[in-house]
Amino acid sequence: MMSQEQNDFITRVGPTEPAGKLLRQYWQPIALSDEIAGVHQVKAVRVLGQDFVLFKQEDGRLGLLDKHCPHRGADLSYGRIEDGGIRCPFHGWLFDAKGNCLETPAEPEGSQLCTRIQQGAYPVVEKSGIVFGYFGEGDAPAFPHLDCFVAPDTHVFAFKGLIECNWLQALEVGIDPAHASYLHRFFEDEADETSYGKQFRSTSADSDLPVTKVLREYDRPDLHVEESEVGMRLTAVRELSNNQRHVRITNMVFPQAIVIPMSSTMTISQWHVPVDDHNCYWYAIFTSFTDPVDKEQMRAQRLELYELPDYISRRNRSNNYGFDPVEQQKSTYLGMGHDINVHDQWAVESLGSIQDRTKEHLGTTDKGIILYRRILIRAIKACLDGQMDALPMRHDSHAAQSITGPIAIDGVTASHTPEGYLVHADQERRRSSSWAASVGNN
């Protein structure tokens, strides 16, 4: 348990809050590339409790500005893209991607007012189908050479979904390996040929065992967590029959991402990005090591659950997440369908918009959460003390090149230790990849 003050310290994300100050020192996903690909290539963005406007200029360059026009506060997300910037429809004030005011056309001819106006502007970059923004002071850190960022566009697919709760509890479900045997338990297994694009529905690597069968029948994994170059590595080992063991290795990439295995040939890199203190989006990049991603199928699968334009789940608190007591008896442990995202959404939203950690009682299965909170608190304190060089995963371009991987594996072995299997399985996967063979790992 922790005090309310300690809980606020690690959950609140406003610009003056300790955790908010830390998160602003890192690139944050703010939109999918698809969201600014239409006729009106402008989007209102709310992140970390603040409002911004994202836009694509006529030359294709991205801009990210404070949302409200500095003239009278009109909403720039309804602006016109023209003349090298975004123009406010209220009085025609024009701003470029650096926040410079280029024109104030209603002012008298010869007016120099625009030279004295500067709109807040922020670095913005597009990576693997996601637009990232940086809201900290000083230079932004370089992007690490993670698999999801170095894979060709043909081998990545990005999507997102809204969760109506604080970012931290949404992240913590992803660093809790034990819950998968319960929350995500299926009473029947699925054929491998129909498992594409679905979590926990394929066979475990180097075996013919469905992941669902392993999770269902071996529900007390041996867990090991450790700090790593990217943040944290979590290893869950289940001892099977015939001297075999199931090894599942996942990662936390500091400050708020996880990298987990989707199948033997695909991983998921997923961020949990605060909209404000009470809502967040998950942003995911699905990375294929072998064949190009079937983006049409992946998108269609997810649009069965999520409604545009806000990417809100059709199964949510208002309809009890589609809970079916008959299904709970016959098909799934939870009774809320077969989509893993719905399971996780129910779990984290049911804790309240900000989990009351003054009442929690952690056990040995929560060792990943315990370690992460220690890392997070240490980083927040370093940030508040101005020790930016002490923050994890803030690198210059040279150092960032050595941050690769990270390895995320789900497989069965009889001859390897978990660490040995991690290396073996990753080498085999990269050896069969058209793009990842020369990429390092950690």
The average pLDDT across 36-52 equals: 95
Instruction: Tell me the per-residue pLDDT of 350-363, one tens digit each, with 9 for 90 and over.
Output: 999 999 999 999 99
The average pLDDT across 86-92 equals: 98
The average pLDDT across 167-189 equals: 96
Instruction: Tell me the per-residue pLDDT of 332-356, one tens digit each, with 9 for 90 and over.
Output: 999 999 999 999 999 999 999 999 9
Percent of the chain whose predicted confidence (pLDDT) is above 70: 99
The average pLDDT across 215-221 equals: 94
The average pLDDT across 41-54 equals: 98
202 band by pLDDT with thresholds 50, 70 and 90: confident
Q: What does the alpha-carbon distance between residue 420 and residue 249 come to, in Å, rounded to a whole number?
A: 12
Q: Quote the pLDDT of residue 206.
A: 86
Domain count, the chain: 2
Q: What does the alpha-carbon distance between residue 436 and residue 433 come to, in Å, rounded to a whole number?
A: 5
Q: Is the pLDDT of residue 19 over 80?
A: yes
Highest average pLDDT, of 36-40, 194-198, 304-308, comes from: 304-308
Closest CA to 165 of 368, 350, 372, 22: 350
Q: Is the pLDDT of residue 192 over 80?
A: no
Q: Quote the pLDDT of residue 231.
A: 97
Question: Do 390 and 335 fall into the same domain?
Answer: yes
Q: What does the alpha-carbon distance between residue 383 and residue 19 come to, in Å, rounded to a whole number?
A: 9
Q: Is the pLDDT of residue 309 over 90?
A: yes
Q: Quote the pLDDT of residue 71.
A: 97
Question: Do 281 and 413 fall into the same domain?
Answer: yes
Question: Do 206 and 349 fall into the same domain?
Answer: yes
Boundary residue ending a domain (94, 112, 133): 133
Q: Is the pLDDT of residue 242 over 90?
A: no
User: Within 13 Å and on the Cβ side, how many CA atoms surround 148?
Assistant: 27
The average pLDDT across 394-405 equals: 92
Q: Which domain holds residue 190?
A: 145-431
Residue 20 lies in a domain: no
Question: Do 120 and 232 fall into the same domain?
Answer: no
Question: Do 270 and 419 fall into the same domain?
Answer: yes
From residue 58, how far is each of 36, 39, 93, 142 by CA, in Å?
12, 12, 17, 27
CATH of residue 55:
2.102.10.10
Q: Quote the pLDDT of residue 441.
A: 56
Residue 22 lies in a domain: no
Residue 70 lies in a domain: yes
Question: Do 84 and 193 fall into the same domain?
Answer: no
Question: Do 151 and 246 fall into the same domain?
Answer: yes
Residue 442 lies in a domain: no
Q: Is the pLDDT of residue 215 over 90?
A: yes
195 band by pLDDT with thresholds 50, 70 and 90: confident
Kind plus residue range of the DSSP H or E element containing 109: none
Boundary residue ending a domain (133, 155, 173): 133
Question: Do 105 and 195 fall into the same domain?
Answer: no
Q: Which residue has the tokens 């034990």?
A: 178
Residue 290, number of CB atoms within 10 A of its CB: 15
Q: Which residue has the tokens 């991690």?
A: 422
Nearest-10 Cα torsion for 372, 376, 377, 383: 160
Question: Do 121 and 196 fall into the same domain?
Answer: no
Residue 94 lies in a domain: yes
Q: Quote the pLDDT of residue 180.
A: 95
Question: Do 334 and 218 fall into the same domain?
Answer: yes
Question: Do 91 and 163 fall into the same domain?
Answer: no
Residue 379 lies in a domain: yes
Q: Is the pLDDT of residue 190 over 90?
A: no
Instruction: Tell me the per-residue pLDDT of 310-340, one tens digit each, with 9 for 90 and over.
Output: 999 999 999 999 999 999 999 999 999 999 9
**8 Å CB contact between 104 and 115:** no
400 band by pLDDT with thresholds 50, 70 and 90: very high
Instruction: Tell me the per-residue pLDDT of 294-306, one tens digit each, with 9 for 90 and over.
Output: 999 999 999 999 9
The average pLDDT across 77-87 equals: 97
Tell me the pLDDT of the chain averaged across its residues. Answer: 95
Task: For residue 427, give the DSSP letter.
Answer: H
pTM for the complete prediction?
0.95
Question: Do 32 and 122 fall into the same domain?
Answer: yes
Residue 436 lies in a domain: no
Q: Quote the pLDDT of residue 117.
A: 96
Percent of the chain whose predicted confidence (pLDDT) is above 90: 90
Which token pair is 435? Answer: 């793009």
Q: Quote the pLDDT of residue 153.
A: 97
Residue 439 lies in a domain: no
Boundary residue ending a domain (113, 133, 153): 133
205 band by pLDDT with thresholds 50, 70 and 90: confident
